[in-house]
């Protein structure tokens, strides 16, 4: 508890002193990774990787890249898609067009497909918005909100504690709790539906039907925060459904689509932490009743699955590349290391990109809210999402991006 108190007092004093000019700029401020560091995957691999634009340009004319992009924890309104699309178009150019907006299930989740068209190729981005699925559980906690947040909590809370309870716990952490339990079934179904469509299929009767020839020329995933867990579990579910299918060609067709995965960009990846949950008793019971494996696994399971898919349908490209962006001061982000992978390591390249999303004050603290949600307005992160990275050359950076992402409500406290 003393460490929490020290952090609260320290961040207040340092932020006030720095912003008021009481401390020299060189002493008060530091951003150690304002120019990101790209870790080399191996001694023989300098870490070059494609962005969405360079991936599209590597395909034959008239081909299309399919991208599935999903948000993470904390409430995200439908406008988060507008924000990401605006930044993406600023980053890569092209002409944007909304292709479709459709509900997933009957509880408010939406899948919106945007196309960015270039002269000889297109990028189709499917955005999954699942925040409405956890809204009822957050509403049930509204009685605990202080009057400043529209609740009727009758007792006094310290300002910092009030903001953390309202923003970090009642809004953000509720998403993690809901997803991890029985009430997360609608989120898992929505994610499976979205993954299936990105793979070129349709969810029919609870299983993903990928038609012959339906797989994309190239597939990429962009996951924010908890979104990585959603996508990984959904990929596992699609594969398990194919294995249980009476259609003997289902596995090969799903494998062909999964083998088309060229890039996975993970922003604020939490898989190493969330994998610690294992499989719940409820899931084991479900598995026993359905005579099938449990619907969730861990990162090793999914990477091993990608290796198996490549054996069923050998890809025409090289190893799948996983790019994990993380700020060392992001309390909810983890690097990926070879120990998190399953299957054949020759099937994957894992590249960690270390960034600073905000300023570190006096080598003591970086605002934890922007450290976690600041990736989406980090000019280098979007530059690399858009254009990739070429070892030995300057990192791509996007001019014209501004702040305005959706941070928890306690962000204003530290201003």
Whether 414 has a pLDDT exceeding 80, the answer reads no
Q: In the numeric block, which tokens belong to residue 185? A: 């079934």
Q: How many domains does the chain have?
A: 2
At 339, the pLDDT band (50, 70, 90 cuts) reads: confident
Residues 81 and 120 in one domain: yes
Residues 23 and 37 in one domain: no
- 48-62, 362-376, 379-393: least confidently modelled range: 362-376
Report, in angstroms and rounded to the nearest whole number, the Rg of the chain calculated over CA atoms.
22
Give residue 37's pLDDT.
94
Q: In the numeric block, which tokens belong to residue 348? A: 């994957």
Residues 112 and 236 in one domain: yes
At 233, the pLDDT band (50, 70, 90 cuts) reads: very high
Residues 183 and 116 in one domain: yes
Distance, CA of 112 to chain centre: 16
Alpha carbon distance 107, 136 (integer Å): 10
Q: Which residue has the tokens 């099938």?
A: 292
At 410, the pLDDT band (50, 70, 90 cuts) reads: very low
Residues 18 and 50 in one domain: no
Residues 295-310 pLDDT 10s: 445 788 888 889 888 8
Residues 21 and 70 in one domain: no
Residues 8 and 102 in one domain: no
Q: How far is CA 61 from CA 15, 57, 91, 121, 343, in A?
A: 52, 8, 21, 6, 33
Estimate the crossing angle of helix 250-258 against helix 227-244, to 10 degrees. Answer: 150
Percentage of the chain exceeding pLDDT 70: 84
* Domain extent for 20: 1-30
Residues 97 and 205 in one domain: yes
Give residue 411's pLDDT.
37
Residues 18 and 133 in one domain: no
Give residue 291's pLDDT.
46
Q: How far is CA 291 from CA 4, 285, 286, in A?
A: 47, 10, 8
Whether 289 has a pLDDT exceeding 50, the answer reads no
Higher-confidence residue of 285 and 153: namely 153
Residues 385-405 pLDDT 10s: 999 999 999 998 887 766 554
Rounded to two decimals, what is the model's pTM? 0.87
Give residue 25's pLDDT.
52
Higher-confidence residue of 263 and 149: namely 263
| Strand residue runs (E) in 9-94 | 29-30, 37-38, 64-70
Give residue 95's pLDDT.
92
- How high does pLDDT run on average in the chain? 83
- 114-123, 129-138, 177-186, 271-280: least confidently modelled range: 271-280
Residues 304 and 396 in one domain: yes
- Mean pLDDT value across residues 82-106: 92
Residues 12 and 138 in one domain: no
Q: In the numeric block, which tokens belong to residue 49? A: 């990787």
Could you give phi then psi for residue 126, rounded to 5 degrees? -100, 120
Residues 24 and 122 in one domain: no
Give residue 152's pLDDT.
79
């Amino acid at each position: 508890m003393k460490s929490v108190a020290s952090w609260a007092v320290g961040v207040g004093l340092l932020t006030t002193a720095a912003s008021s000019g009481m401390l020299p700029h060189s002493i008060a401020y530091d951003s150690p990774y304002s120019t990101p560091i790209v870790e080399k995957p191996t001694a023989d691999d300098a870490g070059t990787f494609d962005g969405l634009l360079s991936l599209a340009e590597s395909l034959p004319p008239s081909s299309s890249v399919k991208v599935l992009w999903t948000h993470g924890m904390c409430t995200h309104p439908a406008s988060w898609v507008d924000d990401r699309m605006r930044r993406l178009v600023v980053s890569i150019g092209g002409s944007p067009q909304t292709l479709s907006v459709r509900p997933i299930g009957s509880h408010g989740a939406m899948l919106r497909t945007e196309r960015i068209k270039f002269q000889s190729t297109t990028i189709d981005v499917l955005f999954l918005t699942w925040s409405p699925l956890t809204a009822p559980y957050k509403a049930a906690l509204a009685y605990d909100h202080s009057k400043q947040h529209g609740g009727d909590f009758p007792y006094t809370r310290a300002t910092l504690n009030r903001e953390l309870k309202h923003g970090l716990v009642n809004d953000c952490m509720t998403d993690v709790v809901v997803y991890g339990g029985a009430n997360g079934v609608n989120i898992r179904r929505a994610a499976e539906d979205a993954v299936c469509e990105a793979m070129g299929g349709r969810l029919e009767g609870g299983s993903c039907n990928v038609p012959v020839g339906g797989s994309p020329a190239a597939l990429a995933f962009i996951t924010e925060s908890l979104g990585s867990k959603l996508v990984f579990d959904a990929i596992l579910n699609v594969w398990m459904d194919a294995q249980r299918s009476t259609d003997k060609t289902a596995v090969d067709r799903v494998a062909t689509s999964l083998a088309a995965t060229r890039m996975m960009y993970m922003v604020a990846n939490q898989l190493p932490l969330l994998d610690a949950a294992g499989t719940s008793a409820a899931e084991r019971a479900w598995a026993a009743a359905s005579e099938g494996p449990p619907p969730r696994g861990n990162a090793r399971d999914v990477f091993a699955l990608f290796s198996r898919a490549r054996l069923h349908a050998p890809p025409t490209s090289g190893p799948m590349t996983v790019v994990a962006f993380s700020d060392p001061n992001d309390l909810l982000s983890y690097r990926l290391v070879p120990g998190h992978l399953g299957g054949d390591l020759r099937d994957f390249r894992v590249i960690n990109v270390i960034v600073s999303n905000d300023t570190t004050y006096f080598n003591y603290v970086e605002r934890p809210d922007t450290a976690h949600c600041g990736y989406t307005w980090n000019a280098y992160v979007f530059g690399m999402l858009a254009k990739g990275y070429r070892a030995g050359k300057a990192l791509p950076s996007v001019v014209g991006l501004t702040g305005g992402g959706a941070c928890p409500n306690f962000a204003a406290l530290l201003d």
